[in-house]
Amino acid sequence: MSVRIVLLGAPGSGKGTQAALLKEMYGIAHISTGDILRQEVAEGTELGKKAETYMSVGTLVPDDLILEMMRLRLLQPDTRRGWLLDGFPRTVAQAERLASLTNGIGQRADAGVILNVIPEVVVRRLSGRRVCEACQTITNVVEMKAGACPVCGGKLVLRPDDEPSVVRKRIAVFDAQTRPVFEFFRRNYDVIEIDASRSIDEVTEALRLALDRYDHS
Ligand code: AP5
């Protein structure tokens, strides 16, 4: 199946978890701005050095850097089969540029998917999140007794921006700068609202049912 979807939601709403599952299910590109930036930081690139100063304190990387990064990423050949954006757009200015970026590859987003969660769920999930150092699989030590990565056996580590003080800042930044993007989408795109406080499997099933009608294949 081929779809072009923008996943929107608070930190910890499950965007990365669901995107990884939908990527497997549909064989489409999963474009996570957070993952791309973390890779740039790990490689010590110019972009990575600039981005780290914002990410480490829970604020947003400037729009001009993100927009250029997304323009280049969307030009990669794997986007032809469909895509799922995770973590972009995150400001109204980014949302306003989305259409021109996707027009640049002759496409348009089918819909925005809003993953709705209450703040208590966000805090619980992020405090228990661990990421595999080797294969980047996301897991949770609250939901399961995770000692090692369930996929490759690698070491599980805390994401630096999941420290409680940084999480509080990320949630405040989300409320101030990203929540208005939901309204932008409601005015300009089809929007699917999902109760993402349910189990991972229930959320995936709700997404699958909602996305079937956008199939381009
Ligand atoms: P980014 O990596 O995008 O972080 P985020 O949006 O804060 O989202 P998270 O990755 O924290 O949460 P998620 O919704 O993916 O949840 P997950 O699936 O992991 O961005 C990081 C930083 O990069 C930003 O702060 C900013 O500085 C910068 N940045 C990125 N994009 C940018 C942009 N466009 N503009 C400017 N700056 C940008 O799930 C969380 C946990 O919950 C996991 O442990 C998971 O196992 C568990 N879980 C998930 N779903 C469920 C469920 N249904 N039930 C139980 N547990 C669940």
| C-alpha 11 – ligand 1 centre gap (Å) | 4
User: What mean pLDDT is reported for the chain?
Assistant: 93
Atom of ligand 1 nearest to the CA of 58: 25
Query: pLDDT tens, 7-19?
Result: 999 999 999 999 9
Point out the catalytic residue in the list 4, 23, 38, 90. 90
| C-alpha 206 – ligand 1 centre gap (Å) | 19
Q: Which pair of structure tokens corresponds to residue 97?
A: 């540029």
State how far the Cα of 84 lies from the Cα of 162, in Å rounded to an integer: 24
Give the pLDDT score at 80: 92
In eight-state DSSP terms, residue 30 is E
- 3-state DSSP helix/strand/coil percent for the chain, to nearest 5? 55, 15, 30
Atom 44, ligand 1: residue with shortest CA distance:
129
Please enumerate in sequence order all residues whose Cβ is within 8 A of that of 125, keeping only pairs 6 or more positions apart, or say none: 12, 14, 140, 142
Mark residue 175 as left, alpha or beta (left: phi above 0; alpha: psi -120 to 50; beta: remaining): alpha
Give the pLDDT score at 206: 97
State how far the Cα of 90 lies from the Cα of 173, in Å rounded to an integer: 10
Atom of ligand 1 nearest to the CA of 34: 2
**Active site annotation includes 129:** yes
Distances (CA, A) of 180 to 96, 104, 128, 183: 12, 25, 28, 5
Give the pLDDT score at 13: 96
Question: What structural domains does the chain harbor?
Answer: 3-28+81-117+178-211 (3.40.50.300)
Give the pLDDT score at 145: 59
Q: What are phi and psi for residue 113, nearest 5 degrees?
A: -115, 120
Give the pLDDT score at 101: 95
Q: What are phi and psi for residue 52, nearest 5 degrees?
A: -60, -35
- pLDDT average per 10 residues of sequence, the chain (217 residues): 93 96 94 97 97 97 98 95 96 97 93 94 89 90 74 90 92 97 97 96 96 83
| C-alpha 170 – ligand 1 centre gap (Å) | 10
Query: pLDDT tens, 26-62?
Result: 999 999 999 999 999 999 999 999 999 999 999 999 9
Dihedral sign, Cα of residue 6, residue 12, residue 13, residue 15: positive
The four Cα atoms 192, 79, 82, 23 give a dihedral, to 10 degrees, of -80
**Active site annotation includes 159:** yes
Number of H helices, E strands in the chain: 9, 8
